[in-house]
Structures are given as structure tokens and as C-alpha cells.
Amino acid sequence: MLPVYAKSRRAMLDLFAKLVGEAVIRKNPLLLKIRIRHQKEGHRAVLDRAAGGKSEIGYKRLQAEISYKQEDMRGMNLKEFVEQATLLGKQMGEKQAEVIRTGIDDACQSNGKATKQISVSTFEDYLAVLKSLEFSSFNENSMPKGHALFVAPGSPLPGKIREWESDPEKMLQIKAIFKAKHNEQLQREANRGLAD
């Protein structure tokens, strides 16, 4: 499949990498939700806590990898080429998701912030969970941007949430929580600006 000519070979490798990357995101959409800030040097940072105060944190590098030999692509037709790239992307997405889950779990355990599985069976339970969460960014309507709630496979919770959010009265209660969270964040940012 891979051409002998250098420019064509490079184009095929770039296409392969793009297909792998798209498959990774489809398999692990959490990666799109993670806000990334490039750290040029050092291994520590200071985190402003929602409840006030600052905490020094250390960075822990997480990595996942897979390997595939270019020679194995020789003789593939286009369909096999795309299928192989998609398969590798799915495998990488699974590995990255597992690394992220493990890293979060390890961080929670070491900081004493681990939470047990939360049971959400009523709308009031759901409101309590929303009140306990922290959101990093909001849109102009005070709705959280890029947030995700992870539930066990086969859980009826996503269907319940859609049902609750389609009820105008319940949605007003949800929006009130988000508005309060947004106001708290704006207040923290204003206080931080004054401190600087």
C-alpha cells in the first residue's frame, strides 16, 4: 500500500495518523473534554481551590502507547488500510481512557478525595450531585461548557437525565444551580484579579 516515492509515502503516513487520531477520539470522547495547558518547565503548580485557599500540586506524566510496523502496511488495499488505522485508533483510545481513569483514581486516593459510587435514583439526588460538582468554564447563558458525567454501562441514568431536562420546571432548577456555580466562579476570578 505504501508508495515508494517519498512525498507519496509521507502523505500516506499522514493519512494513517489522521485516521488513527479520529478513531481514538471516537473511542474515547473524554479526550475532547480535557482542557490542556502546556507546561514548559517544572513539575509543580498552584491550584486555587473553590472553597478558598491554594494548594500546591505536582504533575504526574501519564502515557499510553501502541506500536505498528510500517512494513505491515505493504500489500494492503485501501479498505484494509483504513480498517487497520481505525482498529489501532480504537485500541489507543481504550488504552488512553484506562490510563486517564487510573490516573484520576490514583490522584483521588492519594489526596483523600475519593468518592464512592453515587446512587442517583431521584431528581433531588441529581440536583445534589450537580451542587457538589465543580465546572471550569461556562457559556454566556451560565451553562457549563464541555462537562461530562460518567455512568456505568447500561445505567438508566442518561435516560432519566434527558427526561428531567425536558421538563421545563426541573430545567429551571438545574439552570439555577449552574447560574449559582457560574457566579461563584466569577467571584473567585474577581478576587484572584484583586490579589494579583
Per-residue pLDDT tens over the stretch 119-177: 778 899 888 888 887 777 788 888 887 666 666 666 788 888 889 999 999 999 999 99
- The answer to whether 147 and 33 have CB atoms below 8 angstroms apart is yes
Helix (H, G, I), strand (E, B) or coil at 138: strand
Instruction: Output the pLDDT for position 196.
Output: 45
Instruction: Output the pLDDT for position 172.
Output: 93
Instruction: Output the pLDDT for position 103.
Output: 75
Convert the pLDDT of each residue in 13-57 to its tens digit: 888 888 888 888 777 777 776 655 555 566 666 666 666 777 776
Count of other CB atoms within 10 angstroms of residue 96: 21
Convert the pLDDT of each residue in 48-98 to its tens digit: 666 677 777 666 677 778 888 877 777 788 888 888 888 888 888 888 878
Beta bridge partners of 144: 138
0.75 exceeded by pTM: no
Beta strands in 53-144 (DSSP E): 54-58
